[in-house]
Amino acid sequence: MSLRIQVTVNGTSHEATIEPRTLLVDFLREHLRLTGTHVGCDTSSCGACNVLIDGQSAKSCTVLAAQVDGSSITTIEGLAKNGTLHPLQEGFKEQHGLQCGFCTPGMIMTAANLLSNNPDPSEIDIRHALEGNFCRCTGYHNIVLSVQYAAKKIRETQKETAV
């Protein structure tokens, strides 16, 4: 048995026929070839597969693709606009928030959700939001600095736009 789904991923509509048990992470990686969403643990513990589903952060290894039929998905590939890095992507680069980079897409997507709800998070807010994301390399200090960098840049951009 197969299912037909329609999803919007990074602003582009996609229709596909899938097996009912297809995980969203596998749909993104195998069907759409968006490999920035990583599979890190197969147990929903690491957060490397986080994406935004209708603006909310979710571990795509715990969601069936059929469950997101009609939804809007944003992956790490969808954050940059017109060749310009998203402030979070820029922040991770400028503040050295990554080492091996494996966890980075999930960290950034989780942080994007945080910043959409809290434009000026404290260090505690950031650490709490990232609790479901595991990094084996960095010790999290520079990840927190990266999110703070992005939050500040987003706030400054919004002030400039409002004027």
> Same domain for 22 and 62?
yes
> Same domain for 8 and 48?
yes
> Which residue is it, tokens 């990583």?
38
pLDDT for res 67: 98
pLDDT for res 40: 87
Domain count along the chain: 2
> Same domain for 73 and 93?
no
Looking at 78, 99, 125, the residue that finishes a domain is: 78
> Same domain for 103 and 37?
no
CATH at 69: 3.10.20.30
pLDDT for res 66: 98
121, 55 in Cβ contact below 8 A?
no
Structure tokens, 11: 């602003």
Helices 87-94 + 141-162 axis angle, to 10: 140
pLDDT in tens, the chain (163 residues): 899 999 999 999 999 999 999 999 999 999 999 999 999 887 888 999 999 999 999 999 999 999 999 999 999 999 999 999 999 999 999 999 999 999 999 999 999 999 999 999 999 999 999 999 999 888 899 999 999 999 999 999 988 887 7
Separation of alpha carbons 124 and 121, rounded Å: 8
> Same domain for 46 and 101?
no
Give one DSSP letter per residue of 83-130, joined into a string.
Answer: TB--HHHHHHHHTT--SS-SSHHHHHHHHHHHHHH-SS--HHHHHHHG
Domain with 34 in it: 3-78
> Same domain for 41 and 100?
no
> Same domain for 66 and 91?
no
CATH at 125: 1.10.150.120
> Same domain for 131 and 148?
yes
pLDDT for res 42: 75
Looking at 59, 78, 97, the residue that finishes a domain is: 78
Q: Identify the sign of the CA torsion 30, 131, 146, 97.
A: negative
Q: For residue 50, what are the β-bridge partners?
A: 59
Looking at 52, 78, 104, the residue that finishes a domain is: 78
Q: What is the pTM of this model?
A: 0.93
> Same domain for 134 and 74?
no
pLDDT for res 140: 92
> Same domain for 150 and 94?
yes
Q: Which candidate, 4, 10, 21, 23, places its Cα nearest to that of 105?
A: 10
pLDDT for res 43: 83
